[in-house]
Structure 1
Amino acid sequence: MFNRLRPMATLGLLAATSTGALADSGTSNSGTAKLDDTAWLQIAAYRPQVRTSVRLDSGGQRGTDLRAEEDLGLRDHPSMPAFLVGLRLAERWRAEFEYFDLRRSRRELAFPGDGIEFGGGTFNAAVAARVDIRTFRLSGGYSLLRTPTSEAGLVLGVHLTKFAMSMEGDAIVNGVATPFFLEKRKRDAPAPTLGAYAAHDFASGWLVDGRVDLLKFNARGYRGHLVNAQANIQYRVTRHVGLGVGWRLDDMQLDGNGSSFKGRLDYRFNGPQVFLRFGL
Protein backbone atom coordinates (compact mmCIF):
# COMPACT_ATOMS: atom_id res chain seq x y z
CA MET A 1 0.00 0.00 0.00
CA PHE A 2 2.89 2.36 0.63
CA ASN A 3 4.65 1.70 -2.69
CA ARG A 4 3.50 4.93 -4.30
CA LEU A 5 4.47 6.87 -1.16
CA ARG A 6 7.92 5.39 -0.81
CA PRO A 7 9.94 8.00 -2.77
CA MET A 8 8.85 10.99 -0.67
CA ALA A 9 8.77 9.03 2.57
CA THR A 10 12.33 7.93 1.85
CA LEU A 11 13.34 11.52 1.19
CA GLY A 12 11.92 12.59 4.53
CA LEU A 13 13.52 9.68 6.35
CA LEU A 14 16.89 10.39 4.79
CA ALA A 15 16.65 14.00 5.85
CA ALA A 16 15.52 12.98 9.31
CA THR A 17 18.23 10.41 9.89
CA SER A 18 21.27 11.35 7.85
CA THR A 19 21.69 14.99 8.81
CA GLY A 20 22.81 13.97 12.25
CA ALA A 21 25.73 12.15 10.68
CA LEU A 22 26.95 15.45 9.25
CA ALA A 23 27.85 16.52 12.76
CA ASP A 24 30.80 14.18 12.54
CA SER A 25 32.16 15.91 9.44
CA GLY A 26 33.90 18.60 11.48
CA THR A 27 31.68 21.43 10.21
CA SER A 28 31.07 23.97 12.97
CA ASN A 29 29.10 27.19 12.79
CA SER A 30 27.80 27.84 16.28
CA GLY A 31 27.86 31.59 15.68
CA THR A 32 24.64 31.46 13.67
CA ALA A 33 22.78 29.86 16.62
CA LYS A 34 19.85 28.69 14.48
CA LEU A 35 19.35 25.56 16.59
CA ASP A 36 19.16 27.55 19.82
CA ASP A 37 15.68 29.02 19.24
CA THR A 38 13.38 28.58 22.22
CA ALA A 39 10.31 29.42 20.12
CA TRP A 40 9.65 29.71 16.40
CA LEU A 41 6.91 30.66 13.95
CA GLN A 42 6.90 29.53 10.32
CA ILE A 43 4.55 30.95 7.69
CA ALA A 44 4.59 29.03 4.41
CA ALA A 45 3.03 29.20 0.97
CA TYR A 46 2.50 25.66 -0.29
CA ARG A 47 1.69 25.01 -3.98
CA PRO A 48 1.24 21.28 -4.42
CA GLN A 49 -0.10 19.12 -7.17
CA VAL A 50 -3.32 17.74 -5.69
CA ARG A 51 -4.95 14.40 -6.43
CA THR A 52 -8.19 13.74 -4.57
CA SER A 53 -10.60 10.81 -4.80
CA VAL A 54 -13.93 10.89 -2.96
CA ARG A 55 -16.90 8.57 -2.61
CA LEU A 56 -19.96 9.04 -0.45
CA ASP A 57 -22.11 6.00 0.33
CA SER A 58 -25.58 5.98 1.83
CA GLY A 59 -26.94 2.97 3.67
CA GLY A 60 -26.33 -0.04 1.46
CA GLN A 61 -25.93 2.10 -1.67
CA ARG A 62 -22.34 2.50 -2.84
CA GLY A 63 -21.53 5.93 -4.21
CA THR A 64 -19.65 6.73 -7.41
CA ASP A 65 -15.87 6.93 -7.15
CA LEU A 66 -15.07 10.50 -8.16
CA ARG A 67 -11.75 12.07 -9.08
CA ALA A 68 -12.27 15.54 -7.69
CA GLU A 69 -9.96 17.29 -10.12
CA GLU A 70 -11.20 15.54 -13.29
CA ASP A 71 -14.83 14.73 -12.53
CA LEU A 72 -15.68 17.78 -10.40
CA GLY A 73 -13.31 20.25 -12.02
CA LEU A 74 -11.58 21.27 -8.77
CA ARG A 75 -8.21 23.03 -8.98
CA ASP A 76 -5.26 20.64 -9.15
CA HIS A 77 -2.49 23.20 -8.44
CA PRO A 78 -3.90 25.44 -5.71
CA SER A 79 -1.87 27.75 -3.49
CA MET A 80 -2.48 27.22 0.21
CA PRO A 81 -1.09 28.72 3.41
CA ALA A 82 0.52 26.66 6.18
CA PHE A 83 1.41 27.79 9.70
CA LEU A 84 3.75 26.15 12.20
CA VAL A 85 4.51 27.16 15.80
CA GLY A 86 7.26 25.47 17.83
CA LEU A 87 8.49 25.64 21.41
CA ARG A 88 11.57 24.13 23.05
CA LEU A 89 10.43 22.76 26.40
CA ALA A 90 13.88 21.72 27.62
CA GLU A 91 17.32 21.03 26.18
CA ARG A 92 16.12 17.92 24.30
CA TRP A 93 12.32 18.27 24.41
CA ARG A 94 10.21 20.22 21.92
CA ALA A 95 6.60 20.68 20.83
CA GLU A 96 5.09 21.83 17.52
CA PHE A 97 1.67 22.73 16.19
CA GLU A 98 0.95 22.98 12.45
CA TYR A 99 -2.15 23.94 10.46
CA PHE A 100 -3.03 24.13 6.77
CA ASP A 101 -6.21 23.85 4.77
CA LEU A 102 -7.49 23.41 1.25
CA ARG A 103 -10.99 24.56 0.30
CA ARG A 104 -12.19 24.09 -3.26
CA SER A 105 -15.56 24.34 -4.96
CA ARG A 106 -16.98 24.32 -8.47
CA ARG A 107 -20.35 25.45 -9.79
CA GLU A 108 -22.57 24.44 -12.72
CA LEU A 109 -21.48 20.84 -13.28
CA ALA A 110 -23.10 18.32 -15.60
CA PHE A 111 -22.75 14.55 -15.34
CA PRO A 112 -23.48 12.65 -18.57
CA GLY A 113 -25.18 9.29 -18.84
CA ASP A 114 -27.01 8.03 -15.79
CA GLY A 115 -25.38 10.61 -13.53
CA ILE A 116 -23.47 9.90 -10.33
CA GLU A 117 -24.38 8.42 -6.96
CA PHE A 118 -23.40 10.78 -4.15
CA GLY A 119 -24.79 9.94 -0.74
CA GLY A 120 -28.56 9.64 -0.90
CA GLY A 121 -29.01 11.20 -4.33
CA THR A 122 -28.40 10.45 -8.00
CA PHE A 123 -27.18 13.68 -9.60
CA ASN A 124 -27.24 14.44 -13.33
CA ALA A 125 -26.16 18.03 -12.72
CA ALA A 126 -24.97 20.05 -9.76
CA VAL A 127 -25.38 23.68 -8.86
CA ALA A 128 -22.26 23.37 -6.69
CA ALA A 129 -19.80 20.74 -5.49
CA ARG A 130 -17.32 21.29 -2.68
CA VAL A 131 -14.47 19.39 -0.98
CA ASP A 132 -12.74 20.97 2.05
CA ILE A 133 -9.76 19.49 3.87
CA ARG A 134 -8.29 21.04 7.02
CA THR A 135 -5.27 19.54 8.76
CA PHE A 136 -3.99 20.05 12.31
CA ARG A 137 -0.85 18.45 13.72
CA LEU A 138 0.27 18.57 17.36
CA SER A 139 3.46 16.75 18.27
CA GLY A 140 6.08 16.35 20.96
CA GLY A 141 9.64 15.32 20.18
CA TYR A 142 12.77 14.19 21.97
CA SER A 143 16.20 14.82 20.43
CA LEU A 144 18.42 11.74 20.59
CA LEU A 145 21.19 13.84 19.02
CA ARG A 146 21.74 17.42 20.18
CA THR A 147 24.88 19.44 19.36
CA PRO A 148 25.43 23.14 18.55
CA THR A 149 25.11 22.36 14.83
CA SER A 150 22.93 19.23 14.59
CA GLU A 151 19.74 17.82 16.04
CA ALA A 152 17.79 14.62 15.34
CA GLY A 153 15.10 12.81 17.25
CA LEU A 154 11.79 10.98 17.39
CA VAL A 155 8.36 12.53 17.58
CA LEU A 156 4.94 11.34 18.74
CA GLY A 157 1.96 13.34 17.60
CA VAL A 158 -1.75 13.62 16.95
CA HIS A 159 -2.88 14.34 13.40
CA LEU A 160 -6.43 15.63 12.88
CA THR A 161 -8.01 15.88 9.45
CA LYS A 162 -11.35 17.68 9.26
CA PHE A 163 -13.04 17.21 5.92
CA ALA A 164 -16.36 18.16 4.41
CA MET A 165 -17.82 17.20 1.05
CA SER A 166 -21.09 18.40 -0.43
CA MET A 167 -23.11 18.51 -3.63
CA GLU A 168 -26.24 20.47 -4.41
CA GLY A 169 -28.48 20.20 -7.45
CA ASP A 170 -31.36 18.38 -9.05
CA ALA A 171 -31.30 14.74 -8.01
CA ILE A 172 -33.28 11.53 -7.84
CA VAL A 173 -33.85 10.71 -4.15
CA ASN A 174 -35.59 7.44 -3.30
CA GLY A 175 -36.95 7.34 -6.84
CA VAL A 176 -38.38 10.88 -6.66
CA ALA A 177 -37.08 13.86 -8.64
CA THR A 178 -35.94 16.41 -6.06
CA PRO A 179 -34.89 19.94 -7.10
CA PHE A 180 -31.97 21.55 -5.30
CA PHE A 181 -31.21 18.52 -3.16
CA LEU A 182 -28.24 19.09 -0.81
CA GLU A 183 -26.08 16.15 0.24
CA LYS A 184 -23.35 17.00 2.73
CA ARG A 185 -21.04 15.09 5.04
CA LYS A 186 -18.49 16.21 7.61
CA ARG A 187 -16.00 14.06 9.45
CA ASP A 188 -13.17 14.56 11.92
CA ALA A 189 -10.43 11.94 11.57
CA PRO A 190 -7.98 12.10 14.49
CA ALA A 191 -5.06 9.67 14.58
CA PRO A 192 -1.75 9.25 16.41
CA THR A 193 1.47 9.43 14.39
CA LEU A 194 5.06 8.36 14.93
CA GLY A 195 7.88 10.13 13.17
CA ALA A 196 11.40 11.49 13.08
CA TYR A 197 13.00 14.87 12.51
CA ALA A 198 16.46 16.34 12.01
CA ALA A 199 18.26 19.60 11.29
CA HIS A 200 21.86 20.52 10.51
CA ASP A 201 23.59 23.91 10.48
CA PHE A 202 26.03 23.21 7.64
CA ALA A 203 27.43 26.67 6.76
CA SER A 204 27.28 30.27 7.85
CA GLY A 205 23.59 31.18 7.79
CA TRP A 206 22.46 27.91 6.16
CA LEU A 207 20.36 25.11 7.63
CA VAL A 208 18.82 21.91 6.24
CA ASP A 209 16.01 20.08 8.00
CA GLY A 210 13.56 17.26 7.38
CA ARG A 211 10.67 15.43 8.98
CA VAL A 212 8.52 12.38 8.35
CA ASP A 213 5.33 11.19 10.12
CA LEU A 214 3.70 7.81 9.46
CA LEU A 215 0.48 6.07 10.41
CA LYS A 216 -1.49 3.00 9.40
CA PHE A 217 -4.83 2.35 11.08
CA ASN A 218 -7.73 -0.10 11.02
CA ALA A 219 -10.28 0.33 13.80
CA ARG A 220 -13.93 1.12 14.51
CA GLY A 221 -15.03 0.81 10.92
CA TYR A 222 -12.25 2.99 9.51
CA ARG A 223 -8.98 2.03 7.88
CA GLY A 224 -6.30 3.81 5.94
CA HIS A 225 -2.88 5.37 6.14
CA LEU A 226 -1.16 8.72 6.55
CA VAL A 227 2.26 9.90 5.38
CA ASN A 228 3.71 13.38 5.90
CA ALA A 229 7.25 14.10 4.73
CA GLN A 230 9.25 17.18 3.92
CA ALA A 231 12.81 18.40 3.35
CA ASN A 232 13.83 22.08 3.50
CA ILE A 233 16.80 24.38 3.18
CA GLN A 234 16.83 27.69 5.03
CA TYR A 235 19.00 30.79 5.05
CA ARG A 236 19.03 32.85 8.23
CA VAL A 237 18.95 36.48 7.06
CA THR A 238 19.34 37.76 10.61
CA ARG A 239 19.67 36.07 13.98
CA HIS A 240 15.88 35.85 14.27
CA VAL A 241 14.58 35.76 10.66
CA GLY A 242 15.06 33.06 8.03
CA LEU A 243 13.90 32.40 4.47
CA GLY A 244 13.50 28.88 3.14
CA VAL A 245 12.32 26.60 0.37
CA GLY A 246 11.40 22.95 0.49
CA TRP A 247 9.43 20.04 -0.87
CA ARG A 248 6.69 18.27 1.03
CA LEU A 249 4.24 15.42 0.69
CA ASP A 250 0.94 15.01 2.53
CA ASP A 251 -0.87 11.78 1.72
CA MET A 252 -3.91 10.28 3.42
CA GLN A 253 -6.40 7.54 2.63
CA LEU A 254 -9.53 6.91 4.67
CA ASP A 255 -12.09 4.19 3.98
CA GLY A 256 -15.08 4.50 6.26
CA ASN A 257 -17.93 2.21 7.16
CA GLY A 258 -18.82 3.78 10.48
CA SER A 259 -21.90 5.50 11.78
CA SER A 260 -20.82 9.03 10.86
CA PHE A 261 -19.15 8.41 7.50
CA LYS A 262 -19.49 5.76 4.83
CA GLY A 263 -17.31 6.19 1.80
CA ARG A 264 -13.76 7.06 0.85
CA LEU A 265 -11.41 10.02 0.94
CA ASP A 266 -7.99 9.72 -0.66
CA TYR A 267 -5.84 12.82 -1.10
CA ARG A 268 -2.24 13.45 -2.07
CA PHE A 269 -0.52 16.85 -1.90
CA ASN A 270 2.96 16.87 -3.38
CA GLY A 271 4.96 19.99 -4.24
CA PRO A 272 7.16 22.94 -3.29
CA GLN A 273 6.82 25.38 -0.45
CA VAL A 274 8.47 28.69 0.44
CA PHE A 275 8.43 30.00 3.98
CA LEU A 276 9.40 32.79 6.34
CA ARG A 277 10.60 31.73 9.77
CA PHE A 278 10.90 33.80 12.94
CA GLY A 279 12.91 32.49 15.90
CA LEU A 280 13.44 33.67 19.47
Structure 2
Amino acid sequence: MLRLPYKNYWTSGICLPATVLACIAGSQQAVGNPISDTHIFRVGAYEQDIDVAASATRGGAPEVEIDFDKALGLDDSATTLFFQYQWRFKENWTLSAFYTNMSADGSNTAGRDFNWDGVDYKAGARLDTEFGVDTYLIAVDYSFIKTDKLDIGAGFGLHAFEIETDIEAEVGIVEDGNTDDSIRGRVARNTTELLAPLPNIRGFARYMITPKWAVLGSLGWLSANYEDYDGDYLFLTALTEYRFTENFGIGASYQISEIDVTNDNGNRKRAFDIDQYGPSIYLTYGF
Protein backbone atom coordinates (compact mmCIF):
# COMPACT_ATOMS: atom_id res chain seq x y z
CA MET A 1 0.00 0.00 0.00
CA LEU A 2 1.31 3.49 -0.90
CA ARG A 3 1.91 5.63 2.22
CA LEU A 4 2.72 9.38 2.04
CA PRO A 5 4.17 11.34 4.96
CA TYR A 6 1.52 13.36 6.69
CA LYS A 7 3.40 16.68 6.38
CA ASN A 8 4.18 16.38 2.68
CA TYR A 9 0.68 15.18 1.89
CA TRP A 10 -1.04 18.30 3.12
CA THR A 11 1.65 20.96 2.49
CA SER A 12 3.02 20.11 -0.93
CA GLY A 13 -0.18 20.92 -2.78
CA ILE A 14 -0.60 17.40 -4.17
CA CYS A 15 -3.47 16.22 -2.01
CA LEU A 16 -5.79 15.19 -4.86
CA PRO A 17 -3.12 13.63 -7.16
CA ALA A 18 -1.68 11.69 -4.24
CA THR A 19 -5.10 10.33 -3.32
CA VAL A 20 -5.71 9.22 -6.90
CA LEU A 21 -2.32 7.52 -7.09
CA ALA A 22 -2.96 5.73 -3.79
CA CYS A 23 -6.28 4.39 -5.06
CA ILE A 24 -4.68 3.18 -8.29
CA ALA A 25 -1.88 1.47 -6.42
CA GLY A 26 -4.36 -0.17 -4.06
CA SER A 27 -6.49 -1.43 -6.93
CA GLN A 28 -3.49 -3.27 -8.39
CA GLN A 29 -2.95 -5.32 -5.25
CA ALA A 30 -3.92 -8.98 -5.28
CA VAL A 31 -7.31 -9.57 -3.72
CA GLY A 32 -8.99 -12.65 -2.39
CA ASN A 33 -11.05 -14.74 -4.80
CA PRO A 34 -12.80 -18.15 -5.05
CA ILE A 35 -9.61 -19.74 -6.42
CA SER A 36 -7.05 -18.48 -3.92
CA ASP A 37 -9.03 -18.21 -0.66
CA THR A 38 -8.70 -20.93 1.96
CA HIS A 39 -12.12 -20.26 3.53
CA ILE A 40 -15.23 -18.89 1.82
CA PHE A 41 -18.64 -18.21 3.38
CA ARG A 42 -21.77 -17.39 1.39
CA VAL A 43 -25.23 -16.47 2.65
CA GLY A 44 -28.15 -15.45 0.47
CA ALA A 45 -31.67 -16.10 -0.72
CA TYR A 46 -33.20 -17.96 -3.65
CA GLU A 47 -36.43 -16.93 -5.36
CA GLN A 48 -37.46 -20.35 -6.63
CA ASP A 49 -40.27 -21.73 -8.74
CA ILE A 50 -41.31 -25.13 -7.42
CA ASP A 51 -43.21 -28.08 -8.85
CA VAL A 52 -44.09 -31.05 -6.64
CA ALA A 53 -45.73 -34.36 -7.53
CA ALA A 54 -45.85 -37.14 -4.93
CA SER A 55 -47.56 -40.25 -3.69
CA ALA A 56 -47.67 -41.98 -0.30
CA THR A 57 -49.37 -45.32 0.35
CA ARG A 58 -49.58 -47.94 3.12
CA GLY A 59 -50.65 -51.56 3.30
CA GLY A 60 -50.81 -52.15 -0.42
CA ALA A 61 -53.30 -49.34 -1.16
CA PRO A 62 -53.31 -48.16 -4.79
CA GLU A 63 -50.53 -45.68 -5.58
CA VAL A 64 -51.97 -42.40 -6.88
CA GLU A 65 -49.64 -39.53 -7.76
CA ILE A 66 -50.85 -36.09 -6.63
CA ASP A 67 -49.87 -32.83 -8.29
CA PHE A 68 -49.48 -30.53 -5.29
CA ASP A 69 -50.07 -27.36 -7.32
CA LYS A 70 -53.26 -28.44 -9.07
CA ALA A 71 -54.78 -30.77 -6.48
CA LEU A 72 -53.69 -29.09 -3.23
CA GLY A 73 -53.23 -25.47 -4.29
CA LEU A 74 -49.58 -25.42 -3.19
CA ASP A 75 -47.70 -22.19 -3.89
CA ASP A 76 -45.69 -22.43 -7.08
CA SER A 77 -42.82 -20.26 -5.77
CA ALA A 78 -40.94 -19.69 -2.52
CA THR A 79 -38.17 -17.52 -1.10
CA THR A 80 -35.44 -19.70 0.36
CA LEU A 81 -32.41 -18.79 2.50
CA PHE A 82 -29.17 -20.69 2.00
CA PHE A 83 -25.76 -20.98 3.66
CA GLN A 84 -22.55 -22.32 2.14
CA TYR A 85 -19.00 -22.90 3.41
CA GLN A 86 -15.97 -23.88 1.33
CA TRP A 87 -12.59 -24.93 2.74
CA ARG A 88 -9.55 -25.41 0.52
CA PHE A 89 -7.64 -27.73 2.84
CA LYS A 90 -4.96 -28.49 0.24
CA GLU A 91 -3.87 -26.75 -2.92
CA ASN A 92 -6.08 -28.91 -5.15
CA TRP A 93 -8.63 -30.18 -2.63
CA THR A 94 -11.74 -28.45 -1.29
CA LEU A 95 -14.47 -29.44 1.16
CA SER A 96 -17.90 -27.83 0.82
CA ALA A 97 -20.97 -27.75 3.05
CA PHE A 98 -24.37 -26.33 2.10
CA TYR A 99 -27.77 -25.92 3.72
CA THR A 100 -31.07 -24.49 2.53
CA ASN A 101 -34.69 -24.71 3.63
CA MET A 102 -37.64 -24.41 1.29
CA SER A 103 -41.21 -24.23 2.56
CA ALA A 104 -44.53 -23.58 0.86
CA ASP A 105 -48.19 -23.94 1.73
CA GLY A 106 -51.51 -23.95 -0.04
CA SER A 107 -55.22 -24.53 0.22
CA ASN A 108 -57.81 -26.00 -2.10
CA THR A 109 -61.04 -28.00 -2.19
CA ALA A 110 -60.66 -31.69 -2.90
CA GLY A 111 -62.11 -32.48 -6.30
CA ARG A 112 -62.24 -36.23 -5.66
CA ASP A 113 -61.66 -38.84 -2.97
CA PHE A 114 -58.03 -39.83 -2.50
CA ASN A 115 -55.76 -41.60 -0.05
CA TRP A 116 -52.49 -40.12 1.21
CA ASP A 117 -50.20 -42.25 3.36
CA GLY A 118 -53.05 -44.36 4.75
CA VAL A 119 -55.48 -41.48 5.39
CA ASP A 120 -58.64 -41.04 3.30
CA TYR A 121 -59.61 -37.56 2.09
CA LYS A 122 -63.12 -36.96 0.74
CA ALA A 123 -64.22 -34.87 -2.21
CA GLY A 124 -65.49 -31.45 -1.17
CA ALA A 125 -63.28 -31.14 1.91
CA ARG A 126 -61.12 -28.07 2.30
CA LEU A 127 -57.45 -29.04 2.16
CA ASP A 128 -54.71 -27.07 3.90
CA THR A 129 -51.22 -28.22 2.99
CA GLU A 130 -47.75 -27.44 4.28
CA PHE A 131 -44.71 -28.70 2.40
CA GLY A 132 -41.03 -28.29 3.18
CA VAL A 133 -37.62 -29.55 2.07
CA ASP A 134 -34.42 -29.12 4.08
CA THR A 135 -31.36 -29.74 1.90
CA TYR A 136 -27.96 -30.65 3.33
CA LEU A 137 -24.80 -31.15 1.26
CA ILE A 138 -21.28 -32.28 2.02
CA ALA A 139 -18.86 -32.61 -0.91
CA VAL A 140 -15.17 -33.14 -1.62
CA ASP A 141 -13.73 -31.76 -4.88
CA TYR A 142 -10.37 -32.12 -6.62
CA SER A 143 -8.94 -29.56 -9.08
CA PHE A 144 -7.42 -31.14 -12.19
CA ILE A 145 -6.47 -27.74 -13.60
CA LYS A 146 -5.62 -24.87 -11.26
CA THR A 147 -3.98 -21.56 -12.15
CA ASP A 148 -4.35 -18.02 -10.85
CA LYS A 149 -7.33 -17.52 -13.19
CA LEU A 150 -8.79 -20.96 -13.85
CA ASP A 151 -9.92 -23.85 -11.62
CA ILE A 152 -11.52 -26.95 -13.16
CA GLY A 153 -12.23 -30.20 -11.37
CA ALA A 154 -14.66 -32.86 -10.19
CA GLY A 155 -15.74 -34.46 -6.96
CA PHE A 156 -18.23 -36.47 -5.01
CA GLY A 157 -21.09 -35.16 -2.90
CA LEU A 158 -23.79 -36.49 -0.63
CA HIS A 159 -27.11 -34.66 -0.46
CA ALA A 160 -29.64 -35.37 2.26
CA PHE A 161 -33.20 -34.19 1.69
CA GLU A 162 -35.52 -33.95 4.69
CA ILE A 163 -39.01 -33.80 3.19
CA GLU A 164 -42.12 -33.09 5.26
CA THR A 165 -45.73 -32.93 4.10
CA ASP A 166 -48.73 -32.03 6.25
CA ILE A 167 -52.23 -32.32 4.77
CA GLU A 168 -55.29 -31.38 6.82
CA ALA A 169 -58.91 -31.66 5.67
CA GLU A 170 -61.90 -29.79 7.06
CA VAL A 171 -65.59 -29.76 6.16
CA GLY A 172 -68.34 -27.19 6.64
CA ILE A 173 -71.37 -25.61 4.98
CA VAL A 174 -70.45 -23.59 1.94
CA GLU A 175 -72.63 -20.70 0.75
CA ASP A 176 -71.65 -18.40 -2.09
CA GLY A 177 -68.11 -19.74 -1.99
CA ASN A 178 -67.66 -19.07 1.75
CA THR A 179 -67.40 -21.76 4.40
CA ASP A 180 -69.21 -21.34 7.72
CA ASP A 181 -66.28 -21.54 10.15
CA SER A 182 -68.59 -21.95 13.13
CA ILE A 183 -69.50 -25.49 12.09
CA ARG A 184 -66.25 -26.39 10.42
CA GLY A 185 -64.65 -29.58 11.71
CA ARG A 186 -61.39 -31.31 11.00
CA VAL A 187 -61.97 -34.73 9.47
CA ALA A 188 -58.50 -35.92 8.45
CA ARG A 189 -54.86 -35.02 8.95
CA ASN A 190 -51.57 -36.65 8.12
CA THR A 191 -47.92 -35.66 8.46
CA THR A 192 -45.45 -37.54 6.25
CA GLU A 193 -41.70 -37.26 6.74
CA LEU A 194 -38.86 -38.71 4.68
CA LEU A 195 -35.09 -38.35 5.02
CA ALA A 196 -33.53 -39.26 1.69
CA PRO A 197 -29.73 -39.40 1.25
CA LEU A 198 -28.72 -39.17 -2.41
CA PRO A 199 -25.10 -39.17 -3.66
CA ASN A 200 -23.93 -37.35 -6.75
CA ILE A 201 -20.87 -36.93 -8.95
CA ARG A 202 -19.97 -33.30 -9.50
CA GLY A 203 -18.06 -31.22 -12.01
CA PHE A 204 -17.12 -27.57 -11.58
CA ALA A 205 -15.26 -24.66 -13.18
CA ARG A 206 -14.18 -21.28 -11.80
CA TYR A 207 -12.73 -18.46 -13.90
CA MET A 208 -11.42 -15.04 -12.88
CA ILE A 209 -12.49 -12.45 -15.47
CA THR A 210 -10.60 -9.81 -13.48
CA PRO A 211 -8.79 -10.07 -10.12
CA LYS A 212 -12.10 -9.15 -8.42
CA TRP A 213 -14.74 -10.61 -10.74
CA ALA A 214 -15.35 -14.35 -11.02
CA VAL A 215 -17.76 -16.68 -12.80
CA LEU A 216 -18.43 -20.19 -11.48
CA GLY A 217 -20.46 -23.17 -12.61
CA SER A 218 -21.18 -26.66 -11.29
CA LEU A 219 -23.13 -29.67 -12.48
CA GLY A 220 -23.98 -32.82 -10.58
CA TRP A 221 -25.97 -35.99 -11.17
CA LEU A 222 -26.22 -39.57 -9.99
CA SER A 223 -28.88 -42.25 -9.94
CA ALA A 224 -28.71 -44.62 -6.99
CA ASN A 225 -30.60 -47.68 -5.79
CA TYR A 226 -29.74 -48.99 -2.33
CA GLU A 227 -31.67 -50.63 0.50
CA ASP A 228 -35.20 -49.09 0.56
CA TYR A 229 -34.26 -46.06 -1.57
CA ASP A 230 -34.35 -45.52 -5.30
CA GLY A 231 -33.68 -42.05 -6.68
CA ASP A 232 -31.70 -39.62 -8.73
CA TYR A 233 -30.71 -36.02 -8.26
CA LEU A 234 -29.67 -33.48 -10.90
CA PHE A 235 -28.48 -29.94 -10.23
CA LEU A 236 -26.99 -27.14 -12.29
CA THR A 237 -25.69 -23.89 -10.83
CA ALA A 238 -24.19 -20.86 -12.57
CA LEU A 239 -23.05 -17.85 -10.59
CA THR A 240 -21.00 -14.70 -10.75
CA GLU A 241 -19.54 -12.72 -7.88
CA TYR A 242 -17.57 -9.52 -7.39
CA ARG A 243 -15.23 -8.64 -4.51
CA PHE A 244 -15.58 -4.97 -3.60
CA THR A 245 -12.91 -5.43 -0.91
CA GLU A 246 -10.24 -8.08 -0.44
CA ASN A 247 -12.59 -10.21 1.65
CA PHE A 248 -16.18 -9.09 1.04
CA GLY A 249 -18.22 -9.45 -2.11
CA ILE A 250 -21.65 -9.86 -3.63
CA GLY A 251 -22.92 -12.44 -6.06
CA ALA A 252 -25.86 -13.70 -8.07
CA SER A 253 -26.69 -17.18 -9.31
CA TYR A 254 -29.25 -19.30 -11.09
CA GLN A 255 -29.93 -22.87 -9.98
CA ILE A 256 -31.90 -25.79 -11.38
CA SER A 257 -32.45 -28.93 -9.32
CA GLU A 258 -34.54 -32.05 -9.88
CA ILE A 259 -35.13 -34.50 -7.02
CA ASP A 260 -36.74 -37.86 -7.77
CA VAL A 261 -36.73 -40.24 -4.81
CA THR A 262 -38.75 -43.30 -3.74
CA ASN A 263 -38.67 -45.03 -0.36
CA ASP A 264 -40.37 -48.45 -0.26
CA ASN A 265 -40.00 -50.77 2.76
CA GLY A 266 -42.63 -53.24 1.53
CA ASN A 267 -45.49 -51.95 3.69
CA ARG A 268 -45.15 -48.22 3.10
CA LYS A 269 -44.15 -46.43 -0.08
CA ARG A 270 -43.41 -42.72 -0.48
CA ALA A 271 -42.34 -41.10 -3.73
CA PHE A 272 -41.48 -37.46 -4.45
CA ASP A 273 -40.69 -35.69 -7.70
CA ILE A 274 -39.57 -32.14 -6.86
CA ASP A 275 -38.32 -29.52 -9.34
CA GLN A 276 -36.84 -26.22 -8.12
CA TYR A 277 -35.34 -23.48 -10.24
CA GLY A 278 -34.67 -19.77 -9.92
CA PRO A 279 -32.17 -16.97 -9.23
CA SER A 280 -30.44 -15.96 -6.02
CA ILE A 281 -28.49 -13.06 -4.60
CA TYR A 282 -25.91 -13.51 -1.86
CA LEU A 283 -23.06 -12.03 0.16
CA THR A 284 -19.66 -13.69 0.27
CA TYR A 285 -16.69 -13.47 2.62
CA GLY A 286 -13.35 -15.14 1.97
CA PHE A 287 -9.87 -15.21 3.38
TM-score (norm 1): 0.81
Q: Which stretch of structure 1 is more off in the superposition, 119-128 or 246-255?
A: 119-128
- Output the CA distance in 1 between the equivalents of 2:84 and 2:261: 25
- 1:197 offset after TM fit, Å? 1.3
- Output the CA distance in 1 between the equivalents of 2:224 and 2:261: 9
Hey, what does 1:45 align to over in structure 2? 45
The one-character-per-residue Cα deviations of 1:1-53 (angstroms, maximum 9, x if unpaired) are xxxxxxxxxxxxxxxxxxxxxxxxxxxx9833412111111012111211111
Question: CA 1:122 to 1:79, structure 2 compared with 1: closer, same or farther past 3 Å?
Answer: same
Q: Which stretch of structure 1 is more off in the superposition, 136-145 or 260-269?
A: 260-269
Hey, what does 1:26 align to over in structure 2? none
- Output the CA distance in 1 between the equivalents of 2:29 and 2:75: 44
* Amino acid aligned to 2:115: E
- Output the CA distance in 1 between the equivalents of 2:271 and 2:148: 46
**Counterpart check, 1:213 vs 2:220:** yes
**Counterpart check, 1:192 vs 2:207:** no
Q: Which stretch of structure 1 is more off in the superposition, 30-39 or 145-154?
A: 30-39
CA RMSD of aligned residues (A): 2.1
2:241 alignment partner, one of 230, 234, 237? 234
Hey, what does 2:95 align to over in structure 1? 95
Kindly name which structure, 1 or 2, has the bigger radius of gyration based on alpha carbons: 2
Hey, what does 1:65 align to over in structure 2? 65
SS at match of 1:70: helix
* Amino acid aligned to 1:130: E
- 1:263 offset after TM fit, Å? 2.6
TM-score (norm 2): 0.79
- 1:154 offset after TM fit, Å? 1.1
Question: CA 1:30 to 1:160, structure 2 compared with 1: closer, same or farther past 3 Å?
Answer: farther
- Output the CA distance in 2 between the equivalents of 1:195 and 1:162: 21
Question: Which residues of 2 match residues 1-280 of structure 1 at below 5 A?
Answer: 31-34=30-33, 35-107=35-107, 109-112=108-111, 114-124=112-122, 125-126=125-126, 128-169=128-169, 180-258=187-265, 261-280=268-287
- 1:127 offset after TM fit, Å? 5.2
- 1:230 offset after TM fit, Å? 0.3
* Amino acid aligned to 2:56: L
- Output the CA distance in 1 between the equivalents of 2:29 and 2:154: 23
Give the number of equivalent residue pairs.
244
Q: Which has the higher contact order (CA 8 A, sep 6+)?
A: 1
* Amino acid aligned to 2:155: V
Question: CA 1:105 to 1:77, structure 2 compared with 1: closer, same or farther past 3 Å?
Answer: closer
The answer to whether the 8 Å contact 2:239/2:251 transfers is yes
Which sections of structure 2, spanning at least 5 residues, go unmatched? 1-27, 172-184
- Output the CA distance in 1 between the equivalents of 2:86 and 2:188: 44
